[in-house]
Amino acid sequence: MIEKPLTPADVEFVTTLHGEEQESFIVLMQPRGKQDVLLRAIDDVALGEFDEAVREGDETTDELPVERALSHTLASLRDTGAEAVGQVVEDHPIDLLRSVVEQTHADEVIVLTAPHFVEEFFHRDWASRARHKVGVPVLKLFSHAPDEPAKGGS
């Protein structure tokens, strides 16, 4: 599960998690929506990114449209030799995730997002919610800027 396109560092990290094993990814992408503006602003303040907190309510964005962002991520994963398919998630991401895990007999779930301190504190983030529903290990990773090395979460 992702909320924005994977950076090259993120692609490298997730495709090398299991060494030389052939990887197959089903990517579910749900971009952060208007419902999360307050939570994102609080997270920005917690990180000391005050300028970002002020801009959270702005309508303008320089991000790719979600369909192009997903296509970019899938192409980046395939470029490494991995198999990758995906879809944009409109509603109920955890329910869809559970269904995908059951239908595909997935070995694990990777949730790769920016840190969301408020949601994580209250265990309302995707990884915490998924751990109670999907029946396979859930690995939470934090996404990084394109020039930043990838690191794991909890």
Q: What is the DSSP string of 50-98?
A: HHHHHHTT-S---SPPHHHHHHHHHHHHHTTT-EEEEEE--S-HHHHHH
Could you read off the pLDDT of 66-90 as tens digits, one per residue? 899 999 999 999 999 999 999 999 8
Could you read off the pLDDT of 112-133 as tens digits, one per residue? 887 766 666 665 677 888 898 9
| Domains of the chain in sequence order | 6-15+23-44+61-140 (3.40.50)
Residue 23 to residue 36: CA distance in whole angstroms? 32
Give, in degrees to the nearest 5, the angle at Cα 133 between 126 and 117: 20
pTM > 0.85: yes or no: no
Contact 131, 123 (CB under 8 A): no
Contact 129, 97 (CB under 8 A): no
Residue 133 to residue 41: CA distance in whole angstroms? 28
pLDDT at 42 over 80: no
Sheet holding 109-113, edge to edge: 109-113, 138-142, 151-152
